[in-house]
Amino acid sequence: MTPKFHIGDRVRVRVGEPPGHFRTPTYIQGKTGDIEAIHGAFPDPESLAHGGDGLPAQVLYLVRFDQTRVWEDYAASPQDRLLIDLYEPWLEPV
């Protein structure tokens, strides 16, 4: 499977519907970050969660977020980063 995004690409995390089921942390939904690494393709966790076969496989990325973009009142170092593994269907280009 060819990755849709490349290292350095800016992406936004989709906002999940319905709330509580979408497999990304709520605090990161709607936030923008940069692709830090591409881990490869793995069985689709949404499919597996519902007893499916996990196909087609989905590309998993390591996405880097500036803490100041994640937390509105972040008061520590503006150089602090948050790294989260996210699957391709949960991301959109910025």
Q: Give domain status of residue 5, yes or no.
A: no
Across residues 29-34, what is the average pLDDT?
Answer: 95
* Confidence at residue 39, expressed as pLDDT on a 0 to 100 scale: 97
Q: Give domain status of residue 4, yes or no.
A: no
Q: Give domain status of residue 68, yes or no.
A: yes
Q: Give domain status of residue 47, yes or no.
A: yes
Across residues 80-92, what is the average pLDDT?
Answer: 93
pLDDT at 20 over 60: no
Q: Give domain status of residue 75, yes or no.
A: yes
Give the domain CATH number at 18.
2.30.30.50
Q: What are the C-alpha distances in Å from 38 to residues 56, 72, 78, 82, 87?
A: 17, 28, 25, 16, 10
Q: Which residue has the higher pLDDT, 74 or 14?
A: 14
Structural domains in the chain (count): 1
The confidence band for 92, taking pLDDT boundaries of 50, 70 and 90, is: very high
Largest CA distance in the chain: 44
Range(s) of the domain holding residue 31: 10-93
Q: Give domain status of residue 2, yes or no.
A: no
CA quadruple 31, 34, 39, 40: dihedral positive or negative?
positive
* Confidence at residue 72, expressed as pLDDT on a 0 to 100 scale: 83
For the sheet containing 10-13, what is the strand order? 81-87, 58-66, 32-42, 10-13, 91-93
